[in-house]
A and B are shown apart, each in its own frame.
Chain A
Amino acid sequence: MSISRADIEKVAVLARIKVDGEQVSALEKDLGNILDLVDQLSAADTDSVEPMAHPLDAVQRLRPDVVTETNQRQAFQSIAPATEDGLYLVPKVIE
Chain B
Amino acid sequence: MQWDIVIGLEIHVQLATKTKIFSGSSTAFGAEPNTQANAVDLAMPGTLPVPNEQAFRYAVMFGLATNAEIGRRSMFERKNYFYPDLPKGYQTTQLAQPIVGPGHVDIDLADGSSKRVRIHHAHLEEDAGKSLHEDYHGMSGIDLNRAGTPLIEVVTEPDMNTAEEAVAFAKKLHSLVTSLGICDGDMSQGSMRFDVNISLKPKGSETLGTRTETKNLNSFRFMEQAIAHEVERQMDILEDGGTITQETRLYNGDRDESRSMRSKEEANDYRYFPCPDLLPVEIDDAFIEDARARLPELPDARKARFKEQYGLNDYDAGVLSGDARLATFFEETMAHGKDAKLAANWIQGEFSARLNAEEKSVAESPISGAQLGALVTRIADNTVSSAGAKKVFEALWSGENDNVDAIIEAQGLKQVSDTGALESMVDEVLAGMPDQVAQYQGEEDPKKRKKMLGGFMGPLMKASKGQGNPKLFNEILVRKLGG
Q: Which A residues are closer than 8 A to B by beta carbons?
A: 10, 13-14, 16, 51, 53-54, 56, 58-69, 71-73, 76-77, 82, 84-95
For A72, the chain B residues whose CB sits under 8 A away are 38
Q: Is the CB of A54 within 8 A of B136?
A: no
Contacts of A51 in B (CB 8 A): 96
On chain B, the residues within 8 Å of A77 by CB distance are: 34
- Give bound CA distance, A14 to B39, whole Å: 25
Shortest Cβ gap from A10 to chain B (Å): 8
Q: Are B53 and A87 interface neighbours, CB within 8 A?
A: no
- Assuming the contacts A67-B19, A95-B261, asked whether A84 and B53 have C-beta atoms less than 8 A apart, the reply is no
Complex contacts, B271 vs chain A, CB 8 Å: 14
Query: A49 CA to B309 CA in the complex, in Å?
Result: 56
Cα A82 to Cα B139 with chains together (Å): 10
B454 at the interface (CB under 8 A from A): no
Q: Report whether B19 and A65 are in contact in the complex, using a CB–CB cutoff of 8 Å.
A: yes
Q: A59-B282, A60-B51 are in contact. Are A53 and B25 (CB under 8 A)?
A: no
With both chains docked as a complex, state the minimum distance between the C-beta of A85 and any C-beta of chain B, in angstroms: 7
Residues on the A chain within 8 Å of B266, using CB: 13
CB A65 to nearest CB in B, in angstroms, measures 4
Chain B residues whose C-beta falls within 8 Å of the C-beta of A13 in the assembled complex: 265-266
Q: Which of B65-122 contact A (CB under 8 A)?
A: 75, 80, 82-84, 96-97
A-B contact pairs, 5 of them (CB 8 A): A13-B265, A51-B96, A54-B278, A66-B18, A93-B84
CB–CB A90/B53 < 8 A: no
Give Cα distance in the complex from A67 to B278, angstroms: 21
User: Across the interface, do B53 and A91 meet the contact criterion of CB distance under 8 Å?
Assistant: no
Instruction: Please indicate the chain B residues that have their CB under 8 angstroms from the CB of A94 in the complex.
Output: 133, 140
Q: With A62-B51, A92-B139 as known contacts, state yes or no: A76 contacts B80, CB within 8 Å.
A: no
Q: Is the CB of A76 within 8 A of B279?
A: no
Distance to closest chain B CB from A91 (angstroms): 6
Contact code string B140-161 (vs A, CB < 8 Å = 1, else 0) = 1111100000000000000000
Cβ of B276 within 8 Å of any chain A Cβ, yes or no, is yes
Collect the chain A residues with CB atoms within 8 Å of residue B36's CB: 69, 71
Q: Is B56 part of the binding interface, using a Cβ–Cβ cutoff of 8 Å? A: yes
| Known A62-B53, A63-B24, A66-B19; further 19 A-B contacts with Cβ < 8 A | A13-B266, A53-B75, A53-B97, A53-B274, A53-B280, A58-B279, A63-B53, A65-B53, A69-B23, A69-B25, A69-B36, A85-B33, A88-B34, A88-B84, A89-B137, A89-B141, A90-B84, A93-B84, A95-B261
Report if A16-B280 is in contact (Cβ < 8 Å); known contacts: A71-B35, A92-B140: no
Q: Which of B37, B55, B133, B282 contacts A76 (CB 8 A)?
A: B37
Q: Is the CB of A66 within 8 A of B279?
A: no
Shortest Cβ distance from residue A86 to the other chain B in the assembled complex, whole angstroms? 4
Given contacts A76-B37, A93-B131, contact A61 B140 (CB under 8 A): no
Write out the residue numbers on chain A whose beta carbons fall within 8 Å of the beta carbon of B32. 73, 86
Residues of chain B within 8 A of A65, CB atoms compared: 17-19, 52-55
Given A60-B281, A92-B133, the answer on whether A87 and B33 have CB atoms closer than 8 Å is: yes
Instruction: Give the size category of B's interface with A.
Output: 35 or more
Whether A60 pairs with B278 at a CB distance below 8 angstroms is yes
- Tell me which of A59, A67, A87 contacts B132 (CB under 8 A): A87
A7 to B140 CA separation, bound complex (whole angstroms): 32
Is there contact, CB below 8 Å, between A62 and B83?
Answer: no
The minimal Cβ–Cβ distance linking B288 to chain A, given in whole angstroms, is 14
Chain A positions within 8 Å of B138 at CB level: 92
- Bound: A84/B279 CA distance, A: 38
Q: Is the CB of B280 within 8 A of A59?
A: yes
List of A residues within 8 angstroms of B83 by Cβ? 93
> In the complex, which residues of chain B have a beta carbon less than 8 angstroms from the beta carbon of A82?
139
**Contact assessment for A62 and B274 in the assembled complex, using a CB-CB cutoff below 8 Å:** no
- Given B50, B144, B262, which contacts A63 in the complex, CB threshold below 8 Å? B50
Complex: A3 Cα to B213 Cα, angstroms: 31
Using known A-B contacts A65-B18, A67-B18, determine if residue A89 contacts B24 with beta carbons closer than 8 Å: no
Distance of B455 from chain A, by nearest CB (Å): 65
- In the complex, the answer to whether B24 meets A60 with C-beta atoms within 8 Å is no
- Tell me, in angstroms, the Cα distance from A65 to B44 when the chains sit together: 22
Residues B280 and A89 in contact, CB atoms below 8 Å apart: no
Q: How far is the CA of A88 from the CA of B132 in the complex (A)?
A: 10
Residue of A nearest to B139 (CB): A89
Write out the residue numbers on chain A whose beta carbons fall within 8 Å of the beta carbon of B42.
76
The answer to whether A90 and B33 have CB atoms under 8 Å apart is: no
A91–B52 Cα distance when bound, in Å, is 33
Query: At the interface, yes or no: B418 with Cβ under 8 Å from chain A?
Result: no
Output the least CB separation between B340 and chain A (Å). Answer: 38
